[in-house]
Amino acid sequence: MKRAKSTCVAAQSLPDAPGLILHDLSKDYGTQRAIETLGCEIRGGEFTVLLGPSGCGKSTLLRMIAGFETPTGGRITLGGRDITALPSSQRDIAMVFQNYALFPHLDVAGNITFGLNVRRVPRAEQRQRLDEVARMMGLDALLRRKPAQLSGGQQQRVALARAVISGRPVLLMDEPLSNLDAKLRAEMRAEIRALQRRLGLTLIYVTHDQVEAMTMADRIILLNAGRIEQSGTPEQIYSRPATPFAARFIGSPPMNLVPAEALGIAAPPGTSAGLRPEDIEIAETGLPARLVSHEYLGADLLITVAAGSARLILRRPARLGLPPGPELCLRWAPDALHRFAPQPGPASLPTPDPASDPASGPACAAEPAPQPAS
């Protein structure tokens, strides 16, 4: 059942944060195209992650939404209102920057209330909102400190508080955790996620870290070279990657992607086959392979094997240990196999080299791999 509104925690909770729609947005820098014409919807109240390798255009996209960059073409609407030409301050958007962008000459209180001050909010109200936000973010004791006297995590909290106090329903974050150490990063991930839920913010979060994306996002928009590779929930992108790029980018170690013929799968030439490391089993029968190396991760063991000319990495619980001999057979469930049609353009996948094919192998059953159902 739906809870009554009055039990919601934060006084500032936004009933329904508006969503964003990008219509045919593109961006050129001189003759260089940074963002190919793209369109997508960012739903209100959701945690959306723009994920991609560096230089994929994710920050450019965020900066266009914030109004720091002017799109070359297309429109941005926020809750049905066209904001493409509006200055940043009128877009109802708050932002947390990668380096936090705290004003070094102002103390924590001054930083948090900077915007309220600029917008001439009455002192008493400033005071009250500051108290509320400071308590929520655990900054009560630090209000008189200067940013230089704070730790990275505290600075991060101040930056968040400054964004939250504005009461704006849309929050943009540009790689906000990249300057923190691993432990703090995990803490802040949970904290940011909880904050977004609690306030019902529309949060757009830029990162190149797939772990951040997988753990925090309601929806991931995966970008590569200025275009959208795939968008969907983390589960969708992980279990049904739409492109080889999506398959390789998400998951650690990444999905094994080899020419279909190397796995003995009948497919049109140029088709590549993908298998997640955890979906490959060592079995009595199946595809013959040879052990190459292994890596011990504590809970798991990563085993690299050569099947014909293809290299595959498989993951199995470390307690099962290594297989007894160097020769082994591989199996996988039919629906674990992903097929990708040949990509136009230069083939980046290694082609099988029959000369190096080691014909030897244990007596695996005649039929190498179970054929997928489709």
Partner 1 sequence: MTFATPTSATAAVSAPVSATTGAWPGLDRVLISVGAWMLGLIWIAPLLYAAWTAFHPAAYETRFDLLAPLSLENFPLAWKQAPFARYFLNTVILVTSILSVQLVVGTLAAFAFARLRFAGRNLLFGLVLVQMMVMPDILLVENYRTMRMLGLVDTIAAIGLPYMASGFGIFLLRQTFMTIPRELDEAARLEGVSLLGLIWRVYVPLAKPTYLAFGLVSVSAHWNDFIWPLIVTNSVSSRPLTVGLSIFAAPDSGVQWSVINAATLMTSAPLLIGFLLFQRQFVQSFMRAGIK
**Min separation Cβ 92 and partner 1, Å:** 11
**94 makes contact with partner 1 (CB under 8 A):** yes
The span of 40-48, 110-118, 217-225, 238-246 binding partner 1 (CB under 8 A) equals 110-118
**97 makes contact with partner 1 (CB under 8 A):** yes
**324 makes contact with partner 1 (CB under 8 A):** no
Residue closer to partner 1 by CB (options 164, 301) is 164
The span of 2-10, 34-42, 93-101, 242-250 binding partner 1 (CB under 8 A) equals 93-101
Residue 243 to residues 222, 280, 358, Cα–Cα distance (Å):
11, 20, 30
**122 makes contact with partner 1 (CB under 8 A):** no
Give the total residue count for the chain.
Answer: 374
**Min separation Cβ 173 and partner 1, Å:** 13
For the segment 130-189, give every residue that binds partner 1 (CB under 8 A). 162, 166
Residue closer to partner 1 by CB (options 2, 120) is 120
What are the backbone angles phi and psi of residue 97, rounded to the nearest 5°?
Answer: -90, 165
The span of 84-92, 217-225, 273-281, 296-304 binding partner 1 (CB under 8 A) equals 84-92
Residue closer to partner 1 by CB (options 84, 97) is 97
Q: Which two tokens stand for residue 63?
A: 């900066």
- Cβ neighbours of 20 (radius 10 Å): 20
Identify the residue among 30, 80, 104, 324 touching partner 1 (CB under 8 A): 104
Distance between CA atoms of 59 and 141, rounded to whole angstroms? 34
Task: Give how many residues touch partner 1 by CB under 8 A.
Answer: 22
Please tell me whether residue 264 adopts helix, strand or coil conformation: coil
Q: Which of 221, 239, 219 is nearest to 230 (CA)?
A: 221
Q: Rounded to the nearest 10 degrees, how much is the dihedral formed by the CA atoms of 42, 44, 47, 49?
A: 10
The span of 88-96, 248-256, 288-296, 352-360 binding partner 1 (CB under 8 A) equals 88-96
Residue closer to partner 1 by CB (options 72, 98) is 98
Q: Which of 40, 14, 21, 152 is nearest to 94 (CA)?
A: 14
Identify the residue among 4, 118, 141, 366 touching partner 1 (CB under 8 A): 118
Residue closer to partner 1 by CB (options 96, 262) is 96
E strand or H helix that includes residue 60: helix 58-66
Please tell me whether residue 5 adopts helix, strand or coil conformation: helix
**101 makes contact with partner 1 (CB under 8 A):** yes
Q: Which two tokens stand for residue 68?
A: 């720091």
Residue closer to partner 1 by CB (options 113, 256) is 113
**103 makes contact with partner 1 (CB under 8 A):** yes
Identify the residue among 15, 80, 87, 269 touching partner 1 (CB under 8 A): 87
Residue closer to partner 1 by CB (options 19, 115) is 115
Instruction: Give me the DSSP letters along 42-56.
Output: E-TT-EEEEE--TTS
Distance between CA atoms of 148 and 158, rounded to whole angstroms? 12
Q: Which two tokens stand for residue 29?
A: 């820098």
The span of 50-58, 99-107, 281-289, 293-301 binding partner 1 (CB under 8 A) equals 99-107
**Min separation Cβ 99 and partner 1, Å:** 6
Identify the residue among 99, 149, 151, 371 touching partner 1 (CB under 8 A): 99
Identify the residue among 90, 149, 178, 348 touching partner 1 (CB under 8 A): 90
Residue 22 to residues 27, 76, 174, 217, Cα–Cα distance (Å):
12, 5, 18, 19
**66 makes contact with partner 1 (CB under 8 A):** yes
Strand residue runs (E) in the chain: 20-29, 32-42, 47-51, 73-78, 81-82, 93-96, 170-174, 202-207, 219-224, 227-232, 256-259, 272-275, 280-283, 287-296, 300-307, 310-317, 327-332, 338-340
**Min separation Cβ 170 and partner 1, Å:** 11
Give the binding site for partner 1 (CB under 8 A). 66, 68, 87-90, 93-95, 97-99, 101, 103-105, 114-115, 118-119, 162, 166
